[in-house]
Amino acid sequence: MNGLEQLAIRAGQELEDSPAPEILRWAADTFGSRFCVTSSMADAVVAHLASRALPGVDVVFLDTGYHFPETIGTRDAVAAVMDVRVITLTPRQSVAEQDAAYGSQLHDRDPDLCCALRKVRPLEEGLARYDAWATGLRRDESPTRAHTPVVGWDARRGKVKIAPIARWTQQDVDAYVTEHGVLVNPLLMDGYASIGCAPCTRRTTAGEDARAGRWAGRGKTECGLHG
Ligand code: SF4
């Protein structure tokens, strides 16, 4: 176990019961500019929290080329009004180039490969300059996220992974958004509980968990970013 991994495991234990701002303050103090937030632009809650701990913090957004226009609009609004630096990562190939190489609609035929090309690889390359990254993962989103640590070790990338709102509920998120006037993607008011690429996202219905609308009917629940 290397020093960074030891640090992550210890912080995960010590900060388990700490409020999100305290977790992010620890991250800012420990990693400084080697720390970033990733955001899907469903909402800007973690970016907002992080900007208070580390003004001008890097907010990394993956532009897969398949996003809803509302998601791109949310990213642009976040960049315009928040004290953050939005960094947009793009895949090596445009959608047209990928279609030429693999055939069109790869997301329907092989979503794991499509996510690997358009999400996993660009994020891996984009995170290379950081030691720690924060996400908006929450334990109540789905069974696959139920054991998310507030600070853990991302063994695949050799980085500290921080989930400052892991213990939050949807009600906590809604309350924070209201209290601080945080930007949210308008699709959240249009029946989408979780927002990803347009071809792989549908609205959810009452009683479904938040991520039920992602890759619905395809036996896939995660894009591979958080495996
Ligand atoms: Fe491709 Fe769908 Fe994954 Fe987006 S979510 S990268 S469109 S498979």
DSSP sequence for the chain? --HHHHHHHHHHHHTTTS-HHHHHHHHHHHHGGGEEEE--SSB-HHHHHHHHHSTTEEEEEE--S---HHHHHHHHHHHHHSSEEEEEE--SS-HHHHHHHH-S-HHHH-HHHHHIIIIIHHHHHHGGG-SEEE----TTS-GGGTT--SEEEETTTTEEEE-TTTT--HHHHHHHHHHHT--B-GGGGGT-SS---GGGB----TTS-TTTTBSTTTT----STT-
Among 93, 197, 218, name the best residue to mutate to test ligand 1's pocket (greatest count of ligand atoms within 8 A of Cβ): 197
Q: What is the pLDDT of residue 9?
A: 97
**Pairwise pLDDT comparison (135 vs 214), residue with the higher score:** 135
Of the ranges 6-10, 92-96, 146-150, 191-195, which one carries the lowest mean pLDDT score? 191-195
Calculate mean pLDDT across residues 115-120. Answer: 96
How far is the C-alpha of 92 from the C-alpha of 160, rounded, in Å? 25
Model confidence at 220, pLDDT cuts 50, 70, 90, reads low
Q: What is the pLDDT of residue 227?
A: 65
Calculate mean pLDDT across residues 86-91. Answer: 98
Superfamily of domain 3-185: HUPs (3.40.50.620)
Q: What percent of the chain has pLDDT over 90?
A: 85
Q: What is the pLDDT of residue 46?
A: 98
| Structure confidence by residue, pLDDT tens digits, 156-188 | 999 999 999 999 999 999 999 999 999 999 999
Calculate mean pLDDT across residues 202-225. Answer: 74
For the chain, the domains span: 3-185
Structure token pair of residue 166: 């892991």
* Statement: residue 217 has pLDDT above 70: no
* Statement: residue 137 has pLDDT above 80: yes
Distance from the alpha carbon of residue 16 to the mean position of ligand 1, in angstroms: 32
**Looking at the annotation, which residues are catalytic?**
223
Task: Write phi, then psi, for 216 (nearest 5 degrees).
Answer: -55, 130
Q: Whose CA is nearest to atom 5 of ligand 1?
A: 197
Mean of per-residue pLDDT scores for the chain: 94
Q: What is the pLDDT of residue 160?
A: 98
Among 114, 192, 218, 220, name the best residue to mutate to test ligand 1's pocket (greatest count of ligand atoms within 8 A of Cβ): 114
* Statement: residue 208 has pLDDT above 80: no
Ligand 1: list residues with CB < 6 Å.
64, 66, 107, 111, 114-115, 118-119, 196-197, 199-200, 223
Q: What is the pLDDT of residue 1?
A: 73
